[in-house]
Amino acid sequence: MPLQCSLSFALLALVVGCVSVPPPPADAESPLAYKLPFRAGTRHACIQGGPGPFGHSRGQRYALDFEMDVGTPVHAARAGRVTALEEDSAIGGAARKYSGHANYVHIRHDDGTLAIYLHLQQGAVVVEAGQAVRRGELIAYSGNTGRSALPHLHFHVVRRDPASGRMASVPVAFADVAGDGVPRPLRIYESGNQPPP
């Protein structure tokens, strides 16, 4: 990871007041279900996690941002089926006007939760709608599309709330993150997410 990029993300995270993700409750997803959404042996900093003043609130309460240069391989954090994707956008920036222009992949898991991979590079999604994917499988390449101040991967998991019918952000833990499995802002994590043979 280039030093200049790392310092920029660290300063951005300090300025916006990142708040770390609380540990998942006892009924949250098993830590064995998820692995970090990048290739095994590679390292990326978590630059934002949990509720905070820079976009992660309400429906994105437990979302995580990982610094990534444009073109970094993104791998499925958990097995599932691709339900939606977008890869046509070539624009992005920090202003609200870019909110609807992010490239993404959505993967539904067996328990009904949905993983969202956001800000992907234009033309760089390598899976198709309806395709089954295994954990660790290459799904796309990171970018800087949509509402994004700097290149990064935004990852979060949602579940439909039976009371409201709305999609609600849920906390997850990663088997390849030591301790409680929850990445913390301004820390660097090495992935153990092996692609399938």
CATH of the domain at 141: 2.70.70.10
Position 196 in a domain:
no
Position 130 in a domain:
yes
State how far the Cα of 155 lies from the Cα of 118, in Å rounded to an integer.
7
pLDDT band at residue 32, thresholds of 50, 70 and 90?
low
**Given a cut of 70, is residue 17 above it in pLDDT?**
no
Position 73 in a domain:
yes
Closest CA relative to residue 179, chosen from 50, 68, 21, 9: 21
Position 22 in a domain:
yes
Position 152 in a domain:
yes
State how far the Cα of 191 lies from the Cα of 32, in Å rounded to an integer.
14
Summary mean pLDDT of the chain: 84
Q: H or E stretch including 10?
A: helix 3-16
Q: What is the mean pLDDT of residues 165-176?
A: 90
Q: What is the DSSP string of 113-128?
A: -EEEEEEEEEEEE-S-
Closest CA relative to residue 83, chosen from 120, 112, 121, 63: 112
Write out the residue range of the structural domain in which residue 47 sits.
Answer: 3-190
pLDDT band at residue 58, thresholds of 50, 70 and 90?
low
pLDDT of residue 11: 42
Position 63 in a domain:
yes
Instruction: Tell me the per-residue pLDDT of 147-162, one tens digit each, with 9 for 90 and over.
Output: 999 999 999 999 988 8
User: Is residue 48 a contact partner of residue 185, using CB atoms and an 8 Å limit?
Assistant: yes
Tell me the two tokens of residue 16.
């916006």
Position 64 in a domain:
yes
**Given a cut of 90, is residue 12 above it in pLDDT?**
no
**Given a cut of 80, is residue 38 above it in pLDDT?**
yes
Q: Residue 79: CB partners within 8 Å, gap ≥ 6?
A: 109, 110, 132, 133, 134, 135
Instruction: Tell me the per-residue pLDDT of 60-117, one tens digit each, with 9 for 90 and over.
Output: 788 999 999 999 999 999 999 999 999 999 999 999 999 999 999 999 999 999 999 9
User: Is residue 35 a contact partner of residue 66, using CB atoms and an 8 Å limit?
Assistant: no
pLDDT of residue 27: 37
Tell me the two tokens of residue 9.
């993300």
Position 122 in a domain:
yes
Q: Which amino acid is at 40?
A: A
Q: Which amino acid is at 151?
A: P
Q: H or E stretch including 106?
A: strand 103-108
pLDDT band at residue 184, thresholds of 50, 70 and 90?
confident
